[in-house]
Chains A and B, each alone.
Chain A
């Protein structure tokens, strides 16, 4: 059974810093890995999707990498802004039903 872990659980940084969020998964037989953002009391906003054959994906200030063999993914946020404050979730897609298994999230606070 797929298990996804995210470290750290919470992170507080001053505005302008670059930061890295970590995600690890136990079953490397994934179709893809996704990163989401969730604001308090809201649904999910998809940030990046990395196919199993890819090593990284970039969107603006966000860069996500994937190392399937080691079961790890990282989300790099450059030049962080207060508006980046949210919970970031990673999810591994695996199994015949292509189910998403979510990590517990990293709660990010960017201080102005």
Chain B
């Protein structure tokens, strides 16, 4: 089955700096890669996703890149703000909507 690894497990950045979270996956059949943000005590919510036919996608301060050859994808948050503090999960999905999640990254933005 699919194996998704996520690094780092914890990340602290100064407000205004950038944050990068990286994930790798094992199954080349995976073709959908969403990123979820989970604030303390709340449900995971989709913040951005990318499909295997695209190399990069951007939405305001967040962007995701995908390298299919290397089987890795990354989340980039620029100009971080305290409200970006949360746990971020990457996931890889194979046709059939079976999502395999990474271990999560706890991001803390220091004011």
Do chains A and B stick together as partners? no
Q: Which residues on A are within 8 Å of B, measured CB to CB?
A: none
Chain B positions within 8 Å of A, measured between CB atoms, are: none
